Amino acid sequence: MATAQLYFLVLALASTVAFGRNISPAEEDLGRLIDPFVPGDYPINHTAYRQALSLFLDTNIDVYAPNATGNFPVFYFTTGFGGIIPAEAHSQLFSQIASHGVVLVAVWKIGSPENSFDPAWLQATVDFVEKRLENSLHNQEGYVSDFHVDYLNSFIGGHSAGNHVAVAQLQKDCLHYKGLILVDAVDGNNPIPENVTMYVITPGQKVNFTIPTLEIVTGLDPIPGPYGLACAPEELAGRRFFDAMTGPTWYVNATAYGHADLMDPVYVELNELAQFCPNDPNAPKPEYIQFLTGEIVSFINAVLDPVGNCALFDNLEESGFVGINTLNDFASNGWERCTPSECVLTPSSYSMFSLW
């Protein structure tokens, strides 16, 4: 019942997608903030690719990219909420991340409950990006000729159960991934823990890959909503991912926020109306978007240049940025600070074949 109510409310609010739409960072008084917790300097283009209109995609994607000269790393962000909420619901967050020089590929997690957790369609998106995206964007009106997608420096992750897919991909192939970014990560193929038939994390065991990982969670995630379900139940989320990682891993808990607070204001209000995920109306949402941007941008830049940007790791280990209180943890897993780290796949009995 709750999911159906949210679905129809989303459909009522969703707007027609504009292809190649220009987006400017929000104009606010951000003088009190410090970089990277402010919008970056790059102008942003948003380009939407729809599965129904393409021969090369198994899902919908939205691309937020700098319209500027340079070689820009890629962040594949797989959305959550079962695919019923469009990627455009996160346009503020995605635009601000991209404004720091990141090609953000927002992948809609859609399809049947079983198929939507198979990373095969995510791999099809990666193939599209590596073979076709740059030329496609150059064909968009207004894109500069010296813009390039640096797919050899890629990051993977997303929101909620979208991270189940990201981890499943890494368990199969590291590809060009430099880091894993988990936001409100949820394991399993069902929001009801008793009905889960598919996991990528087994408590007490480590994953079969090593990669720098940033995990950001919200303190209200494990609290059941009015319909009796938590949007990120404790047994499917939180430390489940942190404890399973084998590379350097940062854990950041934004204690005052909830599962839906990373979305644009209209969708945050929609969540409050639907009472789907617990929410604190007194927790300032614009600051949370700035905080998420700062944490993610700090991680990407520090991982790509751990020597020159080593100080950015401090942003993942301290609290209080832009007024957001957090609980922080860090596991080195043998990693020495300020040194490069690559994704390494270690085939073992704990592999994709034991999970699917």
What pLDDT shows up at residue 9?
A: 44
| Tens digits of residue pLDDT in 168-179 | 999 999 999 999
What pLDDT shows up at residue 81?
A: 82
CB neighbourhood size of 30 (10 A)? 16
CATH architecture of 44-345: 3-Layer(aba) Sandwich (3.40)
What pLDDT shows up at residue 15?
A: 38
Domain chopping of the chain, boundaries: 44-345
Mean pLDDT in residue range 174-199: 86
Lowest-pLDDT choice from 175-179, 185-189, 190-194, 310-314: 190-194
**CA 184, CA 215: separation in Å to the nearest integer?**
8
Position with higher pLDDT, 270 vs 47: 47
Local confidence band at 69 (pLDDT 50, 70, 90 cut-offs)? very high
| Tens digits of residue pLDDT in 216-236 | 999 999 998 777 788 888 889
Local confidence band at 348 (pLDDT 50, 70, 90 cut-offs)? low
Instruction: Please name the residues in contact with 305: beta carbons below 8 A apart, sequence gap of 6 or more.
Output: none
Mean pLDDT in residue range 80-101: 91
- Using the structure block, give the residue that is written with the tokens 């995630």: 221
Mean pLDDT in residue range 267-271: 88
Helix (H) or strand (E) holding 3: helix 2-13
CB 355 within 8 A of CB 199: yes
**CA 294, CA 301: separation in Å to the nearest integer?**
11
Across the chain, what does the average pLDDT equal?
85
If we measure between CA atoms, which residue out of 124, 236, 237 comes closest to residue 183? 237
Tokens encoding 113 = 């409950």
